[in-house]
Amino acid sequence: MRLDVVTIFPEYLEPLNVSLVGKARARGRLDVNVHDLRSWTYDRHNTVDDTPYGGGPGMVMKTEPWGDALDSALADGYEVGAHSPALIVPTPSGRPFTQELAVELSERPWLVFTPARYEGIDRRVMDEYATRMPVYEVSIGDYVLAGGEAAVLVITEAVARLLPGVLGNAESHRDDSFAPGAMANLLEGPVYTKPPEWRGHGIPDVLLSGHHGKIARWRRDEAMRRTTANRPDLIERCDPATLDKKDREMLSILGWSPDPEGHSSGRFWRRSEGVEQ
Ligand code: 6GU
């Protein structure tokens, strides 16, 4: 997979040399190319932004440097045989970045990222490249960053670990918390390793029992407990057809009811958490 990143802060992308992504590069699974947007400015101040048409606060990134930088990065890639680029535009107003989207992007041969600062990039840049390639405007969560570079690191790490031969074990991401079809999209429960006792904290007996059925059941119960506490929305969305009788029992203990009166969704609803009157 080829990656291009155009940014005014190339040094912000240094972490792409480290750890999993760095290893994928060293192994030749990833070809990463970082470009300084200011190389495509021709004025004394290397200007990349200007005031917004229509007024308002902040600055908008200009069309010409982005157009010239992207044309150059694309020409470089095509020249060395890359094909089928997709443009990834990190923005808080994009579609949510999910594991499903990470899988989709990991199947493409070439991703070109345009992390922006200020109030974003002049719309015409995305409109122009959308005539030639898929454009994904992507947000990594409901908060506002000062720029898209950190989002590029997040997206790149999520995508790189899915590439064949990057994670040691091909099975490793089958039960990722958000893997498509993962145990009804439950969060993973707690994990333990040696020593068996640390500062007075033991580990749950069942994990030492050697009873694989009981261990699997315990892990699933813990996953439901953690999901109830941290992401009740995932339980509300879960398809009851993916649950067995023991799952339903556990959900009931955790306060969930199937299909209460007045609803016919076939999904789970939580009984009031407040003091019962
Ligand atoms: Cl992709 N960019 C910025 N600037 N803020 C964000 C974001 C992206 N995703 C969430 N917040």
Mutation test residue for ligand 1: of 5, 12, 138, 145, the one with most atoms within 8 Å of CB? 145
pLDDT at 178: 78
Looking at the structure, tell me whether residues 15 and 93 fall in a common domain. yes
Q: Cα dist. 173→75, 144, 181 in Å?
A: 34, 29, 12
Q: What is the pLDDT of residues 20-52, one digit of tens each?
A: 999 999 999 999 999 999 999 999 999 999 999
Looking at the structure, tell me whether residues 203 and 156 fall in a common domain. no
Above 80 in pLDDT, residue 168?
Answer: no
Q: What is the pLDDT of residues 206-230, one digit of tens each?
A: 999 999 999 999 999 999 999 999 9
Looking at the structure, tell me whether residues 62 and 15 fall in a common domain. yes
Looking at the structure, tell me whether residues 154 and 204 fall in a common domain. no
Q: Which is more confident, 117 or 74? A: 74
Q: In whole angstroms, give the CA distance from residue 32 to residue 35.
A: 10
* Any domain includes 214: yes
Domain boundary among 104, 138, 161: 161
Looking at the structure, tell me whether residues 112 and 23 fall in a common domain. yes
* 236-259 mean pLDDT: 93
CATH number assigned to the domain comprising residue 80 = 3.40.1280.10
Residue 276 — pLDDT band, cuts 50, 70, 90?
Answer: very low
Domain boundary among 161, 188, 208: 161
Nearest Cα to 4, choosing from 152, 111, 115, 108?
111
Q: Binding site annotation covers 71?
A: no
Looking at the structure, tell me whether residues 27 and 109 fall in a common domain. yes
pLDDT at 39: 98
* Any domain includes 171: no
Ligand 1 atom showing the smallest separation from residue 94 Cα:
1
Q: Binding site annotation covers 141?
A: yes
* Any domain includes 169: no
* Any domain includes 23: yes
CA of residue 141 to ligand 1 center, whole Å: 7
Q: Cα dist. 106→21, 23, 49, 186 in Å?
A: 13, 16, 32, 23
Looking at the structure, tell me whether residues 204 and 131 fall in a common domain. no
* Any domain includes 277: no
Percent of the chain past pLDDT 70, that is, above it, reads 91
Q: In whole angstroms, give the CA distance from residue 158 to residue 93.
A: 20
Of 107, 119, 239, 244, the catalytic one is 119
How many domains does the chain contain in total?
2
Please report where in the chains the tokens 């040094």 appear, as a residue: 11
**73-87, 163-177, 246-260: which range is least confident on average?**
163-177
Looking at the structure, tell me whether residues 24 and 146 fall in a common domain. yes
Dihedral over alpha carbons 121, 126, 129, 135 (to 10 degrees): 120
Domain containing 66 equals 2-161
CATH number assigned to the domain comprising residue 262 = 1.10.1270.20
Above 80 in pLDDT, residue 158?
Answer: yes
